[in-house]
Amino acid sequence: MKYLIAGLGNIGSEYEHTRHNIGFDVVEYLAAQNGGIWKHDTLAFVCEIKHKGRTLVLIKPTTYMNLSGKAVNHWMQKHKIPKENIMVVIDDLNLDLGTLRIREKGSDGGHNGLKNIDAVTGGNDYPRLRIGIGNKFHKNQQVDFVLGKWKPDEKERVKLITEKAAAACLSFAAIGIKHTMNGFNGNLE
């Protein structure tokens, strides 16, 4: 059984460990904890790991956030992974820092990565894991906030959030979306 875990973000050192790239951070953590080796391939950096008899194909699209659907669709087709076995990991500024929200399907919520995946794959009927990054920014500062680095006092909390989100991805592959939603939705506390 194969699963596709797509951590969304933007490629480039200027985007590393920014709020918008927490999806990348989650799949990088998953790879590091499970002996995965990243390789650059079509439209993404790709890594395969095993967990409880499942193969998880991890991707970090190289298409930039707004065109993530091209990479997700390519790897879904290449490995013949059904939409219900995909987990897209994204940042969400509408959720408080430390909140995880897993859904089987749903709206894009204004997230351009999800909008593009919906358009390219023909719908919003795939699981997604939204990670709250908070919304503590002044008017007209949203882009700077989302593309900004974590504050020093947030870093330890972000580490814990990343670990919990990675555990949710493994749970999704091992026991399914419903049990994972019950076990992981909510705030870090």
* Torsion sign across C-alpha atoms 165, 122, 112, 25: positive
pLDDT above 90 covers a percentage of the chain that reads: 88
d(CA 53, CA 36): 15
Residue 94 CA: distances (Å) to CA of 5, 45, 174, 180: 22, 28, 28, 21
For the domain covering 2-187, report its CATH number: 3.40.50.1470
The pLDDT-based confidence of 189 (bands split at 50, 70, 90) is low
pLDDT in tens, 51-79: 999 999 999 999 989 999 999 999 999 99
H-helix or E-strand containing 184?
helix 177-184
pLDDT in tens, 111-159: 999 999 999 999 999 999 999 999 888 888 888 899 999 999 999 999 9
Structural domain boundaries in the chain: 2-187
Per-residue pLDDT, 45: 98
The residues carrying an active-site annotation are: 20
Average pLDDT score over the chain: 95
- pTM for the model stands at 0.95
